[in-house]
Amino acid sequence: MSPLAAGLAIFLGLAGGVAIGSGVIALFIVLDMIPRLAQVTNSYDKVHWYEGAMIAGAVIGTVADFWDWKVAGPWLITGIVGLFNGVFVGMLAAALTEVLNVLPILAKRLHMQRYLFGFLLAMVFGKMAGSLFEWFIYRP
């Protein structure tokens, strides 16, 4: 690879990485997930650690994916990682629902504010059921 092509490749790679990286972080910022976690665990003073965790996760995930890193871990670990992944996606889904204001509008329109918690559970169980159905029945 000529130096020129190498320089161009580095530039393009950096540009793409910066765009994607800032986009990912911007999404999580918009969805207010870190503040939410800090609020639930009462640890506002540690939000910088949470940022660091997200950045480290993004970088390590990228590198591990590109370089095909593997470890021969026990099967049980997949359950733990899967649980963390699921919780994260669940929070993502909840945050998106909230941004879109679905439940307040629905409850208000139908005069069913008292059932708000029931509706919330409907969405929670719906997500779980959809996910379980997909993995265990739809694609066995």
Nearest to residue 1, comparing CAs of 10, 95, 128, 125?
10
Per CB under 8 A, 34 contacts other proteins? no
Indicate which single residue of 9, 32, 49, 56 sits in contact with other proteins (rule: CB under 8 A). Answer: 32
Per CB under 8 A, 90 contacts other proteins? yes
Indicate which single residue of 27, 44, 83, 137 sits in contact with other proteins (rule: CB under 8 A). Answer: 83
SS (H, E, C) 30-82: HCCHHHHHHHHHCCHHHHHHHHHHHHHHHHHHHHHHHCCCCCCCCHHHHHHHH
- Closest to other proteins by CB, 8 vs 60, is 60
Indicate which single residue of 21, 25, 36, 58 sits in contact with other proteins (rule: CB under 8 A). Answer: 36
Per CB under 8 A, 81 contacts other proteins? yes
Per CB under 8 A, 91 contacts other proteins? yes
Residue 54 and residue 35 in contact, taking contact as beta carbons nearer than 8 Å: no
Per CB under 8 A, 57 contacts other proteins? no
Provide CB contacts within 8 A for 30, sequence distance 6+: 99
Residue 35 and residue 50 in contact, taking contact as beta carbons nearer than 8 Å: no
Per CB under 8 A, 56 contacts other proteins? no
Per CB under 8 A, 50 contacts other proteins? no
How many residues in the shown chain lie near other proteins by CB under 8 A? 73
Residue 53 and residue 88 in contact, taking contact as beta carbons nearer than 8 Å: no
Per CB under 8 A, 51 contacts other proteins? no
Per CB under 8 A, 24 contacts other proteins? no
